[in-house]
Amino acid sequence: MNRNDLFSLFNFKVLLGALGIAGCLIVITLASIGWTKPDPARRFGFAPADLTVIPAPTSTPNVTPTFTPDPLIVGTPTLAPGEIGIGGYVQIAGTEGEGLRLRADPGLNGTPVFLGFDEEVFQVREGPQEADGYTWWYLVAPYDEARAGWAAADFLGAIPSP
């Protein structure tokens, strides 16, 4: 191809037609994107996201509880330190993160009511009862009366009254 052939391809009419088509495509693109319309009024202003950092739980050291009897309470039996009894408080321990099934009836055949987790505290309301080679105590959560059931003493540790 020589130089004259190149100039014949790019004459004034071809350039003007190409610019016209490009302009039409730009106008169509802007209209389809919506740049020709004003932004709708926003109903909400800037709302930054709130982030709450909750620290991970730490393990509770095994501390031997010291029992301090209340001299004002007369006629109530007092429990020795480390002894599980009615009216005392216990903490679930030794399940290695598996949790302890609290049951509707004492014994391994009792229907599981819910799962208690390590370090969860309960008050002893009934017991003891022997079944299936375990000593069973009826426990009630002090913060929720609905969380109640029979638990094996092997996974309970007596703690002082909170």
In order of their start, the domains of the chain are 89-159 (2.30.30.40)
pLDDT digits (tens, 9 = 90+) for 20-70: 999 999 988 887 777 655 555 556 566 666 777 877 777 766 666 666 666
pLDDT digits (tens, 9 = 90+) for 137-149: 999 999 888 899 9
Helix, coil or strand: residue 12 = helix
Helix, coil or strand: residue 7 = helix
pTM here?
0.52
Cis peptide before 128 (omega within 30 of 0): yes
Find the helix or strand (DSSP H, E) in which 126 lies.
strand 121-131
Tokens of 65: 């509880």
Find the helix or strand (DSSP H, E) in which 115 lies.
strand 112-116
Q: ∠ at Cα 145 (140, 149), nearest 5°?
A: 40
